[in-house]
Chains A and B, each alone.
Chain A
């Protein structure tokens, strides 16, 4: 009889032990899940606030200044449209980003949760990445300056640049001219409209060669040329590299819409990686991510 009782005891003890261990493990997993959520929500509040600063302080394109990004995903195509005033003042925007970064560091850090952000320096070049297309929209001279460059990693999904340039307080003085070996016979569509105070040029459609130079030059009352749009040809740059340069004395509102063949994955427009890093030091859980625009 005793061996049977002993076996029952051992069995019960084993079951209890396994149950107990599983319970401890479950508690541990739930605790980590709670911490992971805490980190996610901490990241989200910072990210949402940065997007709000960008939208509220830069969104007023027509009146004040700024940058506005929209994403339109259709079944076969994605359209990413970036509207920007060139040039425009960014001092107050940069100041507010830096102030918010100070606030985050003072009031959102907690025991075991550290926040490391680079949001104060975002306004430096305001480099925008369009994923999963590997296209970069950048400001070579710095955000708010007179230049914009769009660099596609490869052009197989890029169908067209639909571009509208509106001159501020200036008029077109002569018919805008296209020049260069790549301005016709290619596969990349340029759809260009230039709007002056009292006249409109376009829309004009050109099928350019992505690997050859093509330059559009617009003369206006503010300067001759007022601005230039170039498909760069250079061993240092990728095919389809679009460069917009505004010359002194002129201001334009540039609306560039990228027509992209849809590829698997959500179209995302984001600032450079690693702008917001939230780290939980106890379990070493972290979320190192960036800010997403146009959502």
Chain B
């Protein structure tokens, strides 16, 4: 009977040890996980769009200029893909919008060869003016990821 108790005790101890090991093994990576990374990436993406907009770079719709600006602003360890959609009023009273016939949607990428793993998306609207009136209503979508 005494032997049985010792065996049961040893078995229980081994089980607990295994449970502790498994729990530790699964928890260690969780402890190292950066929960704020997506938040940080979102801020980077939005701030880049604000810089590109407020420097009047986006409204030029000059892909080379935007590409150069984006490359210089983007941190080196990030990849990015910028989609720009340029709209104009579809009707005189501007109830609807259509993609501009003069400026087709365009895509600009930086560090494209890298995978877009765990990317985040930021959106910003911006306006282009001509003769003190809005000419184009545009939407910029910037996806950034860590390379």
Contacts and interface: CB of A to CB of B under 8 A. Distances in A.
| Chain B binding surface, main DSSP class | mixed
Interface string B116-138: 00000011111101001110010
B132 A5 contact: no
B38 A41 contact: no
B137 A34 contact: no
Contact of B39 (A19, A33, A107): A33
Contacts of B133: 57, 92, 96
Contacts of B35: 26-27, 30
Interface string B21-45: 0010001001000011011001100
B23 A34 contact: no
Given A5-B13, A30-B39, A34-B39, A19 B125 contact: no
Contacts of B9: 1-2, 5
Chain A interface extent, by class = 35 or more
A48 B124 CA distance: 10
Contacts, number: 89
B20 A46 contact: no
A30 B38 contact: yes
Interface in B89-147: 89, 94-97, 122-127, 129, 132-134, 137, 139
A116 to B, nearest CB: 16
Interface of A: 1-2, 5, 8-9, 12, 16, 19, 23, 26-27, 30, 33-34, 37-38, 41-42, 44-46, 48-49, 52-53, 56-57, 60, 64, 92, 95-96, 98-100, 102-104, 106-108
- Across chains A and B, which 9 residue pairs bring their CB atoms closest together, nearest first? A99-B94, A41-B46, A103-B137, A45-B124, A30-B35, A96-B134, A9-B16, A56-B129, A34-B39
17 contacts: A1-B9, A12-B19, A34-B39, A37-B39, A37-B42, A41-B46, A45-B125, A48-B53, A53-B127, A57-B133, A96-B134, A99-B134, A104-B125, A106-B97, A107-B87, A107-B137, A108-B125
